[in-house]
Chains A and B, each alone.
Chain A
Amino acid sequence: MYNMNSKTLYDKIWDSHCVKSNKNGFDLLYIDRHYIHEVTSPQAFEGLRISKRKPWRSSSNFAVPDHNIPTKDRDKGIADPISKIQVDTLEENCDNFDVNKFSMNHPDQGIVHIIGPEQGLTLPGMTIVCGDSHTSTHGAFGTLAFGIGTSEVEHVLATQCLIQKRSKTMLININGQLSNGITAKDLILYIIGKIGTAGGNGYSIEFGGAVIKALSMEGRMTICNMTIEAGARAGLIAVDGKTIEYLRNRNFTPSDTDFDKAVEHWKSLKSDENATFDKVVNIEGGDVQPMVTWGTSPEMVTDINGSIPLEAGKIYPSALQYMGLTPGTKIRDIKLDKIFIGSCTNSRIEDLRAAAEIVKNKRINKSIKLAMVVPGSGPIKRQAENEGLDEIFLSAGFEWRDPGCSMCLAMNADRLNPGERCASTSNRNFEGRQGQGGRTHLVSPAMAAAAAVAGHFTDIESA
C-alpha cells in the first residue's frame, strides 16, 4: 500500500539538508562536502576576493589539481605555462582561503572523484558538490552528489549552501545477473543506449535490483559516474554492507565509536519499500553484452556483435562523418590507433586488474601507436605496483603513467591527433573531447585491453 511517510533515498537526504524551504519550490540546501579542482574554481575564488568574503567552513572543502597535470616526468613540473598558472592559482587560493589540498606531488593526489571515496571524505548521507559534472560518482555511497557551475562553487564557498530545486526521481532496477565478463561499464552504456542521453533530464536516478547489489563499490561508482551521461545530475545507490566495509579505516572516515554511530545512520540510507518514484525503468541484467560506442554521443552505442546501424546514415550523418565510419560496418572491424585506460569512470584497482588479466603474457598489436594506463590516484598506482600490474602492462607495451584526468579530456599533453581512433575507458565521446579531430569509442577496461591486443575491437573471450 502507498504510504505517505515512505520516502525515497533522495528525499531522505534532501529533507535532512533543507535549511529553508521556499514556497517557490527552491530550497536552501546545506552542503557537507565540497570538492574543488583547478579548472572550475579560479573565478569563484576571484569572486570571493572581490566581494571580500571568506569560506564559510574551511574543513568542508578539499581541493586537488587533476585536469591539467602531466602524467609523466612530474618532477620536471608543468611544461605548458597556461596549465601551470592554473595549477599554481589553485595552490595559492587554497593557501589564501584556508582550503585543504592534495598538491600535485602529494602521494595521495589523484582524480577528484577517485580520491574523495578513497580517502573516506565521501560519507553516506552527505550532500556533496563539486564544479564538475561527474560528481554524480559519489552517489554510489548513498550520498546526494551533483555537479555545479563556478558561480555555485562561489556560493557554496561563501554560504555552505546552495539554492536548488528538488528533482524528479527515477528508479532503474537491474534484475537478474550480468553474464560472465560483463562489467558495470557495459551496463551503464547499455542503460544510456536504452533511455538516451536526455532520458534523465530533470531526474535524479536511483539504481537498484539484484545486479546493483552484486556489484562492488568500484562498479557502483562507475554506474553513478556516468549517470550524468544519461542526463541526470545525480545517481544514487542505497547503502549496504559493502558500502560500510569499503569505508572502514580510510584516512578520513570516523574512527571507533563514531564509526559505529555513523553506521547506524548509514543503514537507514535506502529508499523505503513503498516509496514512489516519478518513473521506474526495468532492465534485465542478462541482456547486457560488452558495449562499444560508435558515434559522438554516449547513446550511440551497440554491442560487440553489432554493427553501425543502417539508419544512422540518415539520422546521424555528421556523427558518422566525424567518426569516419559508414553504416553497416561491424564493430569488430573497427581498427584502433590508441588505447586509453583511465579516467574517473574506470581507473580504480578493479579496472586495472581486469585490463591486466587480458594483456598478461601478451603484446599490444603492432598497429597500436600508443596504449596508456593512467591510474586514478597515487594509492591505486602503488597498490597496482604491489600486485605487479605495472609489470604486466609494461611488458605488454603499455605506458604506465602518473594519476590525473589525462586523455579523458586532453587538457594536458595526452591527446589524440586529428583522425586518430581510440578505445577509451572514459565517459565522453564528444567531438574533440580527446583532442581536436580525435575519434573516441567508449568501452570497459577489459574491452580496451582486448582491443589493444587485437588492434581492433574484439570479444574479451577471443582476446
Chain B
Amino acid sequence: MVKYKTFKGIVAPLDKNNIDTDAIIPKQYLKSISRTGFGVNLFDEWRYLDNGQPGQDHSKRKVNTDFILNKKPYNQSSILLAGENFGCGSSREHAAWAIKDFGINAIIAKSFADIFYNNCFKNGILPIALDEKDINTLLIECSKLKEFKMTINLINQVIIYNADDKIHFNIDPYQKNALLKGLDEIGQTLEDKDLIKSFEKNHKNEYPWFFK
C-alpha cells in the first residue's frame, strides 16, 4: 500500500447519520471479482436517476444533478464530512474501495461503524472521528464557501482550514503508523510465523475438537 501523505483537498458535506454501506456501494456492484473500478458507482442510487447495472456505460446514465458529488467543485472532493455511524451495515470492503477509487482520502464523521472503520486503514483512507461541536463548526465553514478546502496532516494529527484554524484529532498509534508506512500487514504477521505455529500446537492439544 502507498504511504499516507499530508494533503489538501475539497470537502464535501454529507450531513446525514447512518450512511450505510448499501448506500455507499449498492449490491449489484459486489458481483465484480476485481478490487478496482468501483468509483463511478460510489453512492450509485443517490448519484444517478436510473437503476444502475454492472458493466453499463456510465457516461450514458441519467445523473442526479442535485447530488453533491455531482456538483462542481465537489466532484473533485477528496474529503467527506458526515454524521454519526458512517459505514454501518455490511462488511463489504467494496465500500472502502469505491470511496478510494472516487478519490476520497479522508472521511470526517461523528462516529464510524467498526468494520468499515477497519476497512479504511487497509485501503489508505483516513477515518477521523470528531465530536459534534467540531463537526458542526466544519459544516458551517463549509456552507460559507463555494469551495471549502482543508489540509489533513496525519503525522501531527491535525486538520487545518481557513489558513490557520486547526482541529486536532485522535487516532490509534498502531493504525496511524500502518497508514504512514503503507504496511503490508500479512507480511508483518508472517514474521511471527514461529510464534503462531507454537501457539497453534498448544491450542490443538488443549482443544483437539477445533481441529477436526
Contacts and interface: CB of A to CB of B under 8 A. Distances in A.
A32 B210 CA distance: 7
B190 A159 contact: yes
B111 to A, nearest CB: 6
B51 interface: yes
Given A152-B118, A232-B114, 5 more contacts: A56-B196, A125-B210, A151-B119, A159-B196, A165-B172
Given A82-B55, A123-B210, A148-B91, A202 B203 contact: no
A25 interface: yes
Contact of A19 (B85, B111, B173, B196): B196
B31 interface: yes
A151 B27 contact: no
Nearest to A265: B207
A85 B23 contact: no
Contacts of A43: 33-35, 93
A226 interface: no
A428 interface: yes
Contacts of B88: 197-198, 231
B90 interface: yes
Interface string A146-168: 11111110110011110101010
A83 B31 contact: yes
B98 to A, nearest CB: 13
Contacts of A233: 114-115
Contacts of A304: none
18 contacts: A17-B203, A19-B195, A42-B33, A46-B34, A53-B186, A86-B31, A149-B92, A151-B119, A151-B122, A151-B123, A159-B196, A201-B113, A232-B114, A233-B114, A258-B209, A409-B22, A428-B22, A430-B20
Dominant secondary structure of chain A at its interface with chain B = loop
A410 interface: yes
A179 interface: no
A13 B18 CA distance: 31
A432 B209 contact: no
A198 B111 contact: yes
A254 B209 contact: yes
A51 interface: yes
Interface in B71-124: 84-85, 88-94, 96, 111-115, 118-119, 122-123
A46 B200 contact: no
B100 to A, nearest CB: 12
Interface residues of A, number: 80
Interface in A130-176: 131-133, 135, 146-152, 154-155, 158-161, 163, 165, 167
A40 interface: yes
Interface of A: 17, 19-20, 22, 24-26, 28, 30, 32-33, 39-40, 42-43, 46, 51, 53, 56-57, 59, 67-68, 80, 82-83, 85-86, 89, 123, 125-126, 131-133, 135, 146-152, 154-155, 158-161, 163, 165, 167, 197-198, 201-202, 231-233, 252-254, 258-259, 261-262, 265, 297, 318, 409-411, 418, 428, 430-433, 436-437
Interface of B: 16-18, 20, 22-23, 26-28, 30-35, 45, 51, 54-55, 84-85, 88-94, 96, 111-115, 118-119, 122-123, 172-174, 185-186, 189-190, 192, 195-196, 199-200, 203, 207-212
B143 to A, nearest CB: 19
Which of B16, B111, B207 has the most C-beta atoms of chain A within 10 angstroms of its own C-beta? B207
A150 B199 CA distance: 25
B131 to A, nearest CB: 14
Given A22-B174, A123-B210, A233-B114, A152 B31 contact: no
B117 to A, nearest CB: 9
B55 to A, nearest CB: 7
A68 B185 CA distance: 30
Nearest to B90: A133
Going nearest first, the 7 A-B pairs with the smallest beta carbon separation are: A254-B209, A151-B122, A42-B33, A149-B93, A149-B119, A198-B85, A147-B91
Contacts of A22: 174
A231 B85 contact: yes
A25 B85 CA distance: 23
Nearest to A200: B114
Contacts of A150: 35, 93-94
B195 A25 contact: no
A28 B209 contact: no
Contacts of B90: 132-133, 147, 409
A422 to B, nearest CB: 15
A246 to B, nearest CB: 16
Contact of A51 (B31, B35, B186): B186
A297 B91 contact: no
Contacts of A160: 196, 200
Nearest to B122: A151
Contact of B30 (A46, A411, A428): A411
Contact of A149 (B20, B27, B89, B115): B115
A254 B89 CA distance: 34
Looking at B88, B190, B199, which has the most chain A CB atoms within 10 Å of its CB? B88
A40 B186 contact: no
Which residue, of B26, B27, B111, B122, has the highest number of chain A Cβ atoms within 10 A?
Answer: B27
Contacts of B28: 411
A161 B26 contact: no
Contact of A161 (B51, B189, B207): B189
